Amino acid sequence: MVLILLVLVAIVLGFLLALTYWGALVVLRPVLAVFNKKRETVESIEPIVFRAPEPEKAATALGVAIADAFADSAGSPYLTDRMAFELTNTLQQSQIPVTIITGVPVVPAASIAILASLVANMTDLTSSVSRSSGRLANQVDTAISAAQITELKAQRAEGAAA
C-alpha cells in the first residue's frame, strides 16, 4: 500500500512539474521569439565580401550559387547541409577550386560567406568575410549585397530564357 502510494505521488508530482515547465515555456516563448527575430535580421543583412584574381568571374559564380542557395532555402534565413552541398557543386562546376566544410547541421545563411572563405586553393580565390563583427577586409575587390544577389538571379533567369 505504501509503495503504491509512493508510485502515485511520483506520477502526480511528475506531471505537476512537467506542466509547470511547459507553462513557463509557453509564457517565455514570445519573449524568446523577439530575440530570435532580432538576431536573424542582423545576420541576414550582413554583406558578403571577397577578392579574387578574376573578380567578375568569381563574383558571378559565387553570386549565382548564393542566389540558388537562398532560393532553395524557402525563405529560411538558415543554410542547410543540402544548400551547402549545392553551393559546392555550383562553384566546382564554375571551375573554381573550393572546399566547403559540410556536416554543419544549421548555420546562419549570412555565414555562407564564411564557407566561401574556406577556399582550398588560395592562389585562385582568396576570400575574406565580414560577418558579425562588421569589419571589412583590407583588400576588397568585390562586394555582393542582397540586392546584387537578386540582380544576379534576374540576369541568370534572362539568360536561361534567351
Contacts to other proteins by CB under 8 A: 1-3, 6-7, 9-11, 13-15, 17-19, 21-22
Compute the distance between CA of residue 158 and CA of residue 62 in angstroms, rounded to an integer.
Answer: 18
Q: Nearest to residue 132, comparing CAs of 47, 37, 35, 32?
A: 47
Residues facing 127 on adjacent strands: 50
Please give the grid coordinates belonging to residue 134. Answer: 562588421
At 52 the three-state DSSP class reads: coil
> Residue 91 CB, nearest distance to other proteins (Å)?
30
Of 7 and 118, which CB lies nearer to other proteins in the complex structure?
7
Q: How far is the CB of 18 from other proteins (least distance, A)?
A: 4
Q: Return the number of the residue (28 or 118) whose C-beta is nearest other proteins.
A: 28
Closer Cβ to other proteins, 31 or 161, answer by number: 31
Q: Which is nearer to other proteins, 15 or 85 (CB)?
A: 15
For the chain, how far is it from start to end, CA to CA, in angstroms? 83
Question: Which of 159, 140, 162 has its CA nearest to residue 67?
Answer: 159
Measured from the CB atom, the residue of 13 and 120 that comes closer to other proteins is 13
* Chain centre distance of CA 73: 9
Closest distance to other proteins from the beta carbon of 5 (Å): 10
Q: Provide the minimum distance between the beta carbon of 19 and other proteins in the complex, in angstroms, as a whole number.
A: 6
Cell of 150: 537578386
Q: By three-state DSSP, how is residue 47 classified?
A: coil
Shortest CB 73 distance to other proteins, Å: 16
